Chain A
Amino acid sequence: MKMMSGAAMVVEALKDVGVTHVFGYPGGAVLDIYDALFAQDHVKHVLVRHEQAAAHMADGYARSTGKTGTVLVTSGPGATNTLTGIATAYMDSIPMVVLSGQVPSMHIGEDAFQETDMVGCSRPVVKHSFLVKRTEDIPMAIAKAYYIANSGRPGPVVVDLPKDLVNVLEEHPYVFPDDVSMRSYNPTEKGHSRQIKKAVAAIVKAQRPVMYVGGGAINADAAEQVTQLAELLNAPVTCTLMGLGAFSGVHEQSLGMLGMHGTLEANKAMHNSDCIIALGARFDDRVTNNVDKFCPHANIIHVDIDPASISKTVNAHIPVVGSVNKVCEQFLAELDKHDLSDQTNKLADWWEQIQQWRARQCLKYQDASDVIKPQKVVEAVYKHTNGEAFVSSDVGQHQMFAALYYPFAKPRQWINSGGLGTMGFGLPAAMGVQFAHPEATSVVITGDGSIQMNIQELSTCLQYNLPIKIISLNNRALGMVRQWQDMIYKGRHSHSYMDSMPDFVALAEAYGHVGIKVDQLSDLDDAMAECFALKDRLVFMDIAVDQNEHVYPMQIKWGAMDDMRLSKTERT
């Protein structure tokens, strides 16, 4: 039996669960753990500049790999700074473990220096949390944390470690558990056979089916099964913001994204469908619009690993609890018993109708020669990366432009804060992606507002030589806020613009990177080429885009899914 200090146990347990990277920032309560990190080279520590960014990096790492991201921070402010990052991961069901230092056990509750009740603070935004009480419990707590974080519906788990437990001077036996099973936690992976039969019976009867695919399909690594199912059924497929890439955006059966800024064809198909096959999607308000008018003709099959997601907002007619990959395999096996030879014929009318909606070309925008349209920039990024980059985004107009104009062919390629909508997410997330995929192209599509929320991480990028490509759509305003103000508040731009924008090129250079400013459309293509040719440098592209551009299509509030504005002057 190995004897070691609590601090060494933390590092040893991380190694034993297979952690490669820890994103963190040291401080008083975790100095012992940092000392243990110093003594080894199995677990690579990444020193961030702000703890929020550490959580987003771990998040980007997790989203791009499917592995659990790890964060290590000190007590008090170190811990509370991660909360936005934890909440971001929670809303999007991303596996993450946050190890937070805590004041020594005997001082808990005394309002000691840098004390906060981290388990309490984080409670509403974690899947689970542990306050470790004995040094010997450290390996089990860490093993369970990783198991919980990355099984069932994934999510963040906090492990709070009082300083006296990790004292480097006291040694205890280290036993890594063989088994972490819990009587109170047994996620259901396979769908109930009766529900599978019911669902398949509805699917084969459907004349106007739509597959509605969400982030759960990506979490379950179900892209292959989803594609098989779609092709077998010849069904149209739409992905949520979180599901983009779970079904290829360039597949001929793809209708693109649905929801508030979804395509006309996706929202129309949903509204007119007689059978919606929801796979790992949660009928979020940004998808459904007014639930009372939601898809009135559809038989709704809802597949989700989390029973609480089913019938939460929209009633499911056929609920199936299980992971998307397992349930799709069960669907495929059950469909084998049915004759689907007539499927193409049967859906011919449906596809003809969809082609008519597609012909409206809802993503066409008014091009201009004197200003750079933000859509054009995203298209240029697509072209210069062959559609193969990892694209992280921040939150706002640029996020929607990226989602709509960069069709993702593969899962885990698109990294964005969908549920919480966290500005400042993009850059650190792209860094996490780059750590996990050193050879890949990691792009951030951001805006002048969002990028300033975690811009300090440019310093971390220099320290670790991360050749990230930052594409900043600079419209000198908080674009999405401004858009709503234009549409709803009669153009009163209350605090949605910034009077003193920094010189982003000089800023990037000050951090030791390359900055490129583009304000002429004619320069865009060459500048992009230059940016992506600089393989080993971080490039900050400050691109002046049209300030007055709006994101369309856009659902009309309180309407049905397909009540949409298609431009500033047209609506459905």
Chain B
Amino acid sequence: MKRIISVLMENAPGALSRIVGVFSQRGYNVDSLCVAPTDDPSLSRLTIITHGDDKVIEQITKQVNKLIDVLKVVDLTEGSHVERELMLIKVATRTELARAEVKRNVDIFRARIVDVHASNYTIEITGTSDKLDAFATTLAQNTDIIESSRTGVCGLARGEKALRP
């Protein structure tokens, strides 16, 4: 089952490699990983999408928590939460038909065209990973995808729960 593990850690050199190391050396899966400093620049927040049975997920959270640089670990999928991913996708728009079809899909999916070139559009879309998948699939039916880049998922728990030091 897919899990969203959120990690609050020291924004210190080597901290990220230690976390990635736990996943590789213990044979856990990483589907996506998203990391950046938080509002407190001494801290980084990292979101990992992984999958595994309950025992594996329990071990992942414990092993990551054990790292000296890690302050807190939470499995967001245990409660209600908000999750978002951002994708930039560049598609070919050589014909009038392609341009119209892409524009229509952009509106339907509530995406945004952020760059326009004679032969292509670059589109920004945010949402759950499923929505991004669906958007890419739809575009591919109408035109050619030139390239795309995704940030990986980041998430927060709903309500009063918060991951603070």
Contacts and interface: CB of A to CB of B under 8 A. Distances in A.
A120 B71 contact: no
B62 A308 contact: yes
A119 B13 CA distance: 11
A128 B66 CA distance: 10
A463 interface: no
Interface in B4-43: 9-10, 13-14, 17-18, 21, 25
Contacts of A128: 67-69
Interface string B40-70: 0000000000000001001100110111111
A185 B63 CA distance: 13
**Residues of A contacting B: mostly:** mixed
B17 A123 contact: yes
Interface residues of B, number: 21
Ranked nearest first, the 9 interchain pairs of A and B with the lowest CB-CB distance are A308-B62, A128-B68, A184-B71, A124-B25, A185-B68, A308-B66, A308-B63, A123-B21, A307-B62
Interface of A: 119-120, 123-124, 127-129, 131, 133, 148, 182-185, 306-308, 311-312
Contact of A312 (B21, B59, B69): B59
A120 B62 CA distance: 22
Nearest to B62: A308
Contacts of B70: 184
Contacts of B62: 307-308
B14 A119 contact: yes
Contacts, number: 39
19 contacts: A119-B14, A120-B17, A123-B18, A124-B21, A127-B68, A128-B69, A133-B13, A148-B68, A182-B68, A184-B9, A184-B10, A306-B66, A307-B62, A307-B65, A308-B59, A308-B62, A308-B63, A311-B58, A312-B59
Nearest to B58: A311
Contacts of B25: 124
Contacts of A131: 13-14
Contacts of A311: 55, 58
A244 B67 CA distance: 29
B159 interface: no
Nearest to B71: A184
Contacts of B17: 120, 123
A127 B68 CA distance: 8
Given A120-B17, A124-B25, A128-B68, 4 more contacts: A133-B13, A185-B68, A307-B62, A307-B65
Interface of B: 9-10, 13-14, 17-18, 21, 25, 55, 58-59, 62-63, 65-71, 165
Nearest to A124: B25
Nearest to A186: B71
A113 to B, nearest CB: 24
A141 to B, nearest CB: 12
A133 B55 CA distance: 39
A148 B25 CA distance: 22
Nearest to A144: B68
Contacts of A307: 62, 65-66
B123 to A, nearest CB: 38
A183 B11 CA distance: 13
A183 B58 CA distance: 23
A3 B125 CA distance: 57
A242 B69 CA distance: 29
Q: Which of B55, B58, B66, B68 has the most CB of A within 10 A?
A: B68
A309 to B, nearest CB: 9
Contact of A184 (B55, B58, B59, B68): B68
Contacts of B165: 183
A127 B69 CA distance: 11
A308 B63 CA distance: 6
Q: Which of B25, B62, B67, B70 has the most CB of A within 10 A?
A: B62
Contact of A183 (B13, B14, B67, B71): B71
A123 B63 CA distance: 14
Given A124-B25, A182-B68, A307-B65, A129 B9 contact: no
A557 to B, nearest CB: 22
B62 to A, nearest CB: 4
A131 B13 CA distance: 9
Contacts of A182: 68
A123 B59 CA distance: 19
A119 B69 CA distance: 14
A264 to B, nearest CB: 31
Contacts of B65: 307-308
A516 B50 CA distance: 60
Contacts of B68: 127-128, 148, 182, 184-185
A479 B69 CA distance: 43
Contacts of A120: 17
Nearest to B24: A124
Nearest to B26: A124
A338 B55 CA distance: 35
A123 B70 CA distance: 15
A119 B66 CA distance: 18
A419 to B, nearest CB: 15
Contacts of B59: 308, 312
A94 to B, nearest CB: 17
A319 to B, nearest CB: 11
Nearest to A130: B14
B44 to A, nearest CB: 11
A185 B68 CA distance: 6
Nearest to B68: A128
Contacts of A185: 68
Contacts of A308: 59, 62-63, 65-66
A131 B62 CA distance: 25
